[in-house]
């Protein structure tokens, strides 16, 4: 009976991974989590790639899940190519981490997509350098940068951040400056879209839920076993995604103006 159930899930996973997708996703988040899996008689950390789309109704949707030994731009190129082959014609904004070559991999398949460096990743990376006692204060000062009303004010707040923290944490402001060109597209969007980009926190909350499922296991015996459990966890998580993200109607109206001619017509 267990064997039959397992086979049924394997078939379900295959169908899910190959299902047709919507033509347009205004926002797509792309990220990878690390999971321990037995491979060739040794346990390794495998990268599990995830794509989450915000559909036209403002509802989060896991578009797919893939695995590889290492996270790299070349593999992400395969991922976005697969999304296109499954029917995705338009992505307005792709939120990514700071992986080298990642934006170029997306632009090779979706040349009109705006690449936005994920603010959640930037903040999390910055806080890695900060003691628990100072985290709240640093996070508040970082918020003044990415929540600034204009790019000019954001730059001013970044200078103020550097003046305050460079003596003790010089890496943080330098990291933001090095990535500034991929951070500032955020400021060309109205408030509603900016909130949708950095406060939905879609990938981060999903990763946290997946870690809860996997943390009690030392490792998975195979890729197939890992995929089955993660698929069932994703299915369970997605049951809670019934409401559109906050201010979605307003964001959609802004999208229709900003991406005129690329919005689907019904």
Q: For the segment 181-223, what is each residue's pLDDT rounded down to a tens digit?
A: 888 988 888 877 887 776 546 666 777 777 777 766 667 777 7
Task: Quote the CA–CA distance of 219 and 46 in Å, as a whole number.
Answer: 11
Whether residue 11 lies inside any domain: the answer is yes
Q: Specify the range with the lowest mean pLDDT, choosing from 10-14, 109-113, 199-203, 242-246.
A: 199-203
Q: Is a pLDDT exceeding 60 seen at residue 263?
A: yes
Whether residue 245 lies inside any domain: the answer is yes
- Give the pLDDT confidence score for residue 196 in this predicted structure: 75
pLDDT band with cut points at 50, 70 and 90 for residue 180: very high
- Give the pLDDT confidence score for residue 228 in this predicted structure: 84
Q: Specify the range with the lowest mean pLDDT, choosing from 77-81, 126-130, 235-239.
A: 235-239
Task: Quote the CA–CA distance of 190 and 168 in Å, as a whole number.
Answer: 34
Whether residue 265 lies inside any domain: the answer is no
- Measured torsion, CA atoms of residues 220, 223, 228, 234, in degrees rounded to the nearest 10: 90
Note the pTM of the prediction, 2 decimals: 0.85
How many domains does the chain contain in total? Answer: 1
Tell the burial category of 127 from Cβ atoms under 10 Å away from its Cβ (0-12, 13-18, 19+): middle
Whether residue 191 lies inside any domain: the answer is no
Q: What residues make up the domain containing 103? A: 2-121+200-258
Q: Specify the range with the lowest mean pLDDT, choosing from 62-66, 149-153, 165-169, 250-254.
A: 250-254
pLDDT band with cut points at 50, 70 and 90 for residue 1: very low
Whether residue 176 lies inside any domain: the answer is no
Phi and psi at 43, nearest 5°, equal: -95, 125
Whether residue 130 lies inside any domain: the answer is no
Average pLDDT for the chain: 85
Nearest to 165 by CA among 132, 129, 194, 200: 129
Q: Specify the range with the lowest mean pLDDT, choosing from 65-79, 131-145, 147-161, 215-229.
A: 215-229
Taking each helix axis as running N to C, give the angle between helix 223-238 and helix 2-17, from 0 to 180 degrees, rounded to the nearest 10.
Answer: 70
Q: Spell out the alpha helix ranges (H) of 179-247.
A: 180-183, 191-198, 202-214, 223-238
Tell the burial category of 238 from Cβ atoms under 10 Å away from its Cβ (0-12, 13-18, 19+): middle
Task: Quote the CA–CA distance of 189 and 196 in Å, as a whole number.
Answer: 10
Whether residue 117 lies inside any domain: the answer is yes
- What is the C-alpha end-to-end distance of the chain, expressed in Å? 46
Q: What is the mean pLDDT of residues 21-39?
A: 86
Whether residue 71 lies inside any domain: the answer is yes
- Give the pLDDT confidence score for residue 155 in this predicted structure: 96
Q: Is a pLDDT exceeding 60 seen at residue 3?
A: no
> Domain of 76: which CATH number?
3.30.420.10
């Amino acid at each position: 009976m267990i064997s039959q159930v397992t086979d049924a899930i394997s078939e379900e996973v295959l169908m899910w991974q190959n299902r047709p997708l919507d033509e347009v996703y205004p926002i797509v988040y792309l990220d990878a989590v690390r999971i321990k899996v037995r491979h060739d008689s040794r346990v390794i950390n495998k990268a599990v790639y995830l794509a989450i789309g915000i559909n036209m109704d403002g509802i989060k949707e896991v578009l797919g899940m893939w695995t590889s030994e290492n996270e790299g731009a070349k593999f992400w190129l395969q991922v976005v190519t697969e999304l296109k082959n499954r029917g995705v014609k338009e992505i307005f904004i792709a939120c990514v981490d700071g992986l080298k070559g990642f934006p170029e991999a997306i632009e090779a398949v979706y040349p009109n997509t705006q690449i936005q460096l994920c603010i959640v990743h930037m903040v999390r990376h910055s806080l890695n350098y900060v003691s628990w006692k100072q985290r709240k204060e640093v996070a508040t000062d970082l918020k003044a940068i990415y929540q600034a009303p204009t790019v000019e004010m954001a730059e001013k707040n970044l200078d103020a951040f550097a003046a305050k923290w460079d003596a003790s944490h010089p890496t943080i402001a330098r990291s933001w400056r090095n990535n500034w060109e991929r951070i500032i597209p955020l400021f060309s969007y109205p408030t509603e879209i900016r909130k949708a980009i950095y406060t939905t926190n879609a990938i981060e909350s999903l990763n946290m839920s997946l870690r809860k499922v996997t943390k009690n296991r030392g490792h998975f015996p195979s890729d197939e076993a890992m995929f089955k459990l993660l698929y069932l966890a994703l299915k369970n998580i997605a049951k809670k995604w019934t409401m559109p993200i906050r201010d979605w109607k307003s964001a959609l109206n802004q999208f229709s103006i900003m991406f005129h001619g690329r919005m689907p017509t019904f």
